[in-house]
């Protein structure tokens, strides 16, 4: 029975609330870990330094002041341990937050009553005010909180410090300024700390709300950026109610010229017509109120063929046949309804571990340059070269308006060559030089290029795709599929071999992909994790050999 329309926003709201709760718990754990680490770290450094300079370490151990900072740090550590596991309710997390903030502030405030022998008079008083203020300000920065909540938690926290300082100062017979003046100065200090913390929460909480709204596209919430191309950025996303993995591609307003809008909308419409298992599936399409175009498609947890060769080197002939056959089958459907991809390249074919029970599945993505055979008005201008230079068919360079299905097959031949050799068909220092090779130079057979045996039938199929004139290439993608099926001298790439490869290398490969995605997020990691070493270095050695 269909859901009542009034229930759908409730489901979306529930998903958003759960996300907010999980984020709050994560930040509370992070805040507890950081404050506990800072407290213990500075405490040990300070006391070890003091002990080495002043000595009398046993006397310091007997003073209550020696244990105040560890006690407050233990409070933060308990919050960290509690929040790093399990799933607390929103109300429980608020209680943990309030309890830790209050207890830590009260414990730090007690420092004013305990001066360690040899310290300057009033040093512990000053240190107590600094620690309480630091805790309130650090919480405002690290923990998502409304300005009102920060204010309500900050007042009792600094209030404890104000009361403690008043009681301590009243017991100082040698005080040089009246107690009322000290209370006023202490109160102003603490009030300033609360005001700054409240303003910080107001700004940070407000910015987070704006970011959340900016990354909410209809029923989809964008989680992380996973790629970017000429036609827009791609994000991993989740649907408010459905659990299927989703990727969302969007065209920002600043890129949305009239021609780009047309091409982007055509990409959605044309890709949605394709149903082949080796073509990425489109789920949904929409436009935000501020004009951002987006569409949702299946999320592919895998690596593209460029990354495959970069990590694992040239591929076995059987696997090359296996991959090319899948891509050609995808193109056969597209060509059959009058669509040409025009940008077949390693980066636009994603290899996933398994789909529908089949292992090592190739998916063709990014139909952003797709063209209808019978269209009357080109969305890509006739005088523009569309595609990637290393994988361009000669006619795409000399007469871009005359491309056909055989142009995709030339690009697929370049892709097969790359998989077999780990090198592009033609190299060049400039785009012009590469394009000139495509127009005039004859490619070296893949076996001769790498000095290794490549099965004759497979080499012939690849070289046939690389013919200069379209008439000399396979006339249809289905013809190429049949040629690949006739490669009897190639050891087949079996399902067991595919599963074995992913079992051995899948975790490392996907870790590499996640590292690449971190670049899109602006997260630079200077060192490759040691888990890559046993996989990456042999592949690099094979390519050099």
Residue pLDDT, tens place only, 336-360: 988 888 889 999 999 999 988 899 9
Residue 158: pLDDT over 70: yes
| Average pLDDT along the chain | 79
d(CA 328, CA 460): 16
pLDDT of 242 reads 78
Report if residue 529 sits inside a domain.
no
3-state secondary structure of 372: strand
CA 163 to CA 157: how far, in whole Å?
10
> Does 376 lie in the same domain as 319?
yes
| CATH code where residue 452 lies | 1.10.510.10
* Phi-psi category of residue 29: left, alpha or beta, with phi > 0 → left and psi -120 to 50 → alpha: alpha
End of a domain among 173, 196, 214? Answer: 214
pLDDT in tens, 292-330: 778 888 888 899 999 999 999 999 999 999 999 999 999
User: Residue 5 to residues 2, 220, 287: CA-CA distances in angstroms?
Assistant: 9, 17, 21
Residues 163 and 285 in one domain: no
Do the beta carbons of residue 459 and residue 446 sit within 8 Å? yes
Is 13 a residue whose pLDDT tops 50? Answer: no
Taken as a whole, the chain contains a residue count of 545
317 and 390 assigned to the same domain: yes
Q: Are 352 and 431 contained in the same domain?
A: yes
Range of the domain at 333: 302-520
Distance of CA 230 to the CA centre of its chain: 19
Among 119-123, 135-139, 386-390, the range scoring the smallest mean pLDDT is 119-123
Q: Which of 206, 198, 204 is nearest to 155 (CA)?
A: 198
Which positions ≥6 away from 456 have C-beta within 8 Å? 489
If asked whether residues 193 and 276 sit together in one domain, one would say no
Active site residues: 343
The verdict on residue 230 lying in a domain is yes
**Cα separation, 171 vs 406, whole angstroms:** 94
In a domain, 526, yes or no: no
Distance, in Å, from the CA atom of 134 to the CA atom of 155, rounded to the nearest integer, reads 14
Residues 474-529 have pLDDT tens digits of 999 999 999 999 998 899 999 999 999 999 998 888 888 877 766 554 433 333 33
- What pLDDT score does 358 carry? 93
Query: Is 465 a residue whose pLDDT tops 80?
Result: yes
Residue 50 sits in the same domain as residue 72: yes
Asked whether residue 227 falls in the same domain as residue 333, the answer is: no
- 469 pLDDT band, cuts 50/70/90, is very high
Cα 37 to Cα 43, 97, 351, 361: the distances in Å are 10, 18, 43, 46
Q: What share of the chain has pLDDT > 90, as a percent?
A: 32
362 or 220, which is more confident: 362
**Is residue 494 domain-resident?**
yes
* Position 278 in a domain: yes
Q: What is the pLDDT of residue 435?
A: 93
Total tally of structural domains belonging to the chain: 3
**Contacts (Cβ under 8 Å, ≥6 apart) of 499:** 354, 359, 360
Q: Do 192 and 176 fall into the same domain?
A: yes
């Amino acid at each position: 029975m269909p859901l009542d329309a009034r229930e759908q926003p409730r489901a979306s709201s529930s998903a958003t609330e759960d996300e907010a709760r999980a984020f709050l718990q994560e930040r509370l754990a992070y805040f507890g870990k950081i404050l506990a680490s800072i407290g213990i770290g500075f405490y040990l450094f300070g006391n070890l330094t003091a002990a080495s300079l002043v000595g009398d370490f046993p006397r310091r151990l007997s003073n209550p002041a020696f244990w105040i900072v560890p006690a407050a740090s233990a409070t933060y550590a308990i919050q960290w341990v509690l929040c790093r596991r399990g799933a607390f309710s929103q109300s429980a997390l608020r209680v943990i937050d309030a309890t830790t903030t209050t207890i830590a502030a009260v414990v730090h405030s007690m420092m004013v009553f305990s001066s360690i022998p040899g310290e300057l008079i009033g040093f512990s008083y000053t240190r107590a005010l600094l620690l309480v203020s630091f805790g309130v300000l650090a919480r405002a920065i690290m923990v998502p909180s409304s300005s009102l909540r920060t204010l309500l938690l900050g007042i009792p926290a600094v209030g404890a410090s104000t009361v403690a300082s008043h009681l301590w100062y009243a017991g100082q017979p040698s005080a040089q300024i009246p107690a009322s003046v000290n209370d006023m100065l202490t109160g102003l200090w603490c009030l300033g700390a609360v005001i700054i913390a409240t303003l910080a929460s107001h700004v940070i909480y407000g910015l987070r709300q704006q970011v959340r709204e900016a990354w909410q596209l209809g029923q989809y919430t964008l989680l992380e950026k996973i790629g970017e191309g000429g036609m827009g950025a791609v994000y991993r996303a989740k649907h408010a109610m459905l659990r299927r993995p989703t990727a969302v591609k969007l065209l920002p307003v600043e890129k949305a010229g009239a021609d780009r809008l047309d091409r982007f909308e055509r990409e959605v419409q044309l890709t949605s017509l394709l149903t082949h298992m080796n073509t990425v599936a489109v789920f949904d399409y929409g436009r935000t109120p501020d004009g951002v175009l987006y569409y949702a498609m299946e999320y592919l947890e895998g690596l593209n063929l460029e990354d495959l060769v970069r990590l694992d080197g040239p591929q076995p002939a059987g696997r090359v046949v296996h991959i090319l056959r899948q891509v050609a089958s995808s193109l056969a459907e597209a060509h059959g309804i009058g669509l040409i991809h025009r940008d077949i390249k390693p980066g636009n074919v994603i290899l996933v571990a398994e789909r529908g029970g089949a292992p090592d599945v190739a998916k063709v993505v990014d139909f952003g340059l797709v063209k209808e055979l019978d269209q009357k008005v080109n969305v890509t201008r006739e005088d523009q070269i569309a595609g990637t230079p290393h994988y361009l068919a000669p006619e795409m360079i000399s007469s871009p308006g005359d491309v056909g299905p055989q142009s995709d097959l030339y690009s697929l031949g370049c892709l097969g060559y790359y998989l077999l050799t780990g090198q592009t068909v033609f190299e060049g220092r400039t785009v012009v030089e590469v394009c000139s090779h495509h127009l005039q130079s004859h490619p070296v057979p893949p076996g001769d290029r790498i000095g290794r045996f490549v099965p004759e039938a497979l080499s012939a199929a690849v070289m046939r795709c690389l013919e200069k004139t379209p008439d000399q290439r396979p006339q249809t993608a289905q013809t190429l599929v049949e040629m690949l099926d006739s490669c009897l001298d190639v050891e087949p790439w079996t399902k067991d071999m595919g599963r074995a490869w992913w079992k051995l290398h899948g975790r490392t490969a996907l870790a590499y992909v996640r590292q690449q995605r971190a670049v899109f997020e602006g997260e630079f990691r200077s060192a490759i994790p040691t888990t890559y070493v046993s996989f990456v270095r042999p592949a690099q050695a094979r390519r050099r050999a």
